[in-house]
Structure 1
């Protein structure tokens, strides 16, 4: 089996906690052959752990991009640098790229990022792990097969205690997240996951109306946003994202999908089971393995490189996810209903297991 030689750009927490464990699990398919980080001490420490020599360690991403013996690059840098670094590496290397989500810090750069595969003629995957998580695919299939009848509406409440988490060894502890140079702060960084999952399940979005509670802390312009969403499929629902406190009750509100014949309930992504309650009193419990998105996205990228399947999450698709965040901010700021996916008039195309949606031109949005 051919191993793909990977160049890592950015050896921070995303690499340590998310991508590296998946690479270890897929060691028959990938070999980390070079590594770059602006922090030389961190880069050297990882080189020792990975068994890389001094010639395989870089502090300038432009230099590693010139390596001819690498098959692809995995870019994990602060959000405000995602487009800049990806565009530069693509221009130099003309090699396949994996880039962390969200694809850009603002709408203008997100639009430009969506163009990169066509601009340089290379495959680019955005590592939006929620679109690869088992539970999201399972719920998507339950909706497709009308397990609880026609879907009428949903509610989802997501709570993140950013002020507390930034004092722990968690992602909010990073200074660039506490003082973001990207629009929306925690909403773009974390809330985009939930919006991507909802779009994966229900498809394109027609219109949204959002409200926000302003706050003085820098990590997000609003401590909470509440969004009314109308999907093009006709499904309606509400999504709330609270990034400055705790949800004390158990079970959590989570994601609740109501159909004409029952209800689908996911408390939170790490609980390991999906509840299905039928109107006739029957109940089902579907189990899944949490946090498989990182493995599944790297497996998808490998299979795409081998010509076995298409990349499931392209920059064009992630542009839609990021644009929805910017549209929420616009709706709050301008106090109006905002049209989201103007160019999208399709019903999602589902396949068994993980599928892909065929998107029309994203620039019509």
Structure 2
């Protein structure tokens, strides 16, 4: 099959560091035919980085959408303008891979959901890469196989320093002074919520509290969240984006079951999934060189556009992640437990490479197993 002719709307840090490294490995699936960035300087920077002809660039995304040599677009722009550009792309007849989250608040989340009904012939994937990350998918497969029995407790910790540094995601002014509810917890926190839903199932109730303890961001820096899952399991999620340096933190997720414990830990360079069984034996799966799921996410999008396959990262799945963050903020505002409507769709599906027997065929990175 011919490669999908892809247009890029937004060529900043997310495209430079996350999407483009995957796309340049996928020339059998995608060819980038044009790109748009409202900053002409950034457009020139991306052209130099990618080797694309600068003449294929524009500062007006509508000019890109008017081209007839584009089948699909990747939209990676600041959160406050995501919805408008996403809708423009669908109205122009393009398939859409859109960065998360689905808007700035509940109203925009509902508007995103309406896009599926308004443009039923288009493929839409909202880029929640944690749904596609190798270590998380492997942990999910272990849980599905009953490796720890029935889950009864989840503990997940995320803590580190967050101050603006040139070339980092937190250096962008729209993240320092966010025009979307919850700031960093809606931007970065939805990834952690995606992991929680992927491994623990749907959330029925939340009770959250927040702190404002970082003067470099105009949003809550800390969130402590108790969760009750539809399965009856309970859990705690703690996120701290500190202004001061933070000592080395475990920053792991621990899942306690009736027949074992599963721990997800480690930095991106070496992620680990450790299973401790009821008899005390352990198995550790180590993942090196994985790309956090961006390659797999693009595979899912390509299969949907070319072959009509369903995607895992639907608008509805992204909205479900977002609504847990919003419910946590509501709970903090009201000092009360907030109930969520539990979807009847059965949670997050486990993505596998199309036509593969296992979880990792054809994907970048290395996987090693150690038994003790």
If the length of structure 2 is used for normalisation, what is the TM-score? 0.88
Matches within 5 A, 1:257-272: 257-268=255-266, 270=268, 271-272=270-271
Q: Which residue of 1 aligns with 2:298?
A: 298
Q: CA deviation at 1:30?
A: 0.6
Q: CA deviation at 1:217?
A: 2.6
- Separation in structure 1 between the aligned mates of residue 134 and residue 101 of structure 2, nearest angstrom: 20
- Separation in structure 2 between the aligned mates of residue 106 and residue 180 of structure 1, nearest angstrom: 12
Could you list the structure 1 runs, at least 4 aligned residues long, displaced by more than 6 angstroms after superposition: none
Change (3 A) 1:269 1:344: farther
Matches within 5 A, 1:102-251: 102-121=101-120, 122-163=122-163, 166-215=164-213, 217=215, 219-244=217-242, 245-249=244-248
| Superposed CA RMSD | 2.0
Q: Secondary structure at the match of 1:148?
A: coil
The answer on whether the counterparts of 1:148 and 1:262 sit within 8 Å (CA) in structure 2 is: yes
Q: Secondary structure at the match of 1:284?
A: strand
Q: Secondary structure at the match of 1:272?
A: strand
Deviations 1:157-186 (A, max 9, x none): 0113212xx124211011111111111111
- Separation in structure 2 between the aligned mates of residue 181 and residue 253 of structure 1, nearest angstrom: 28
Q: Which residue of 2 aligns with 1:283?
A: 282
The answer on whether the counterparts of 1:155 and 1:238 sit within 8 Å (CA) in structure 2 is: yes
Q: CA deviation at 1:110?
A: 1.3
Q: CA deviation at 1:55?
A: 4.5
- Separation in structure 1 between the aligned mates of residue 320 and residue 300 of structure 2, nearest angstrom: 20
User: What residue ranges of structure 2 are gaps of 5+ in the alignment?
Assistant: 355-372
Deviations 1:226-278 (A, max 9, x none): 1111111222100011011555245x041011111221111245232211112
- Separation in structure 2 between the aligned mates of residue 87 and residue 349 of structure 1, nearest angstrom: 25
Matches within 5 A, 1:94-105: 94-105=93-104
- Separation in structure 1 between the aligned mates of residue 324 and residue 351 of structure 2, nearest angstrom: 27
- Separation in structure 1 between the aligned mates of residue 351 and residue 111 of structure 2, nearest angstrom: 32
Deviations 1:124-181 (A, max 9, x none): 1111111110111111122221101211101000113212xx1242110111111111
The answer on whether the counterparts of 2:317 and 2:348 sit within 8 Å (CA) in structure 1 is: no
Change (3 A) 1:216 1:16: closer
Q: Which residue of 2 aligns with 1:34?
A: 34
Deviations 1:308-337 (A, max 9, x none): 631110111101111111111111011111
Select 1:255's aligned residue among 247, 253, 265: 253
Change (3 A) 1:107 1:161: same
Which shows bigger deviation, 330-339 or 40-49?
40-49
- Separation in structure 1 between the aligned mates of residue 197 and residue 16 of structure 2, nearest angstrom: 28
If the length of structure 1 is used for normalisation, what is the TM-score? 0.90
Q: Secondary structure at the match of 1:35?
A: strand
User: How many matched pairs?
Assistant: 350
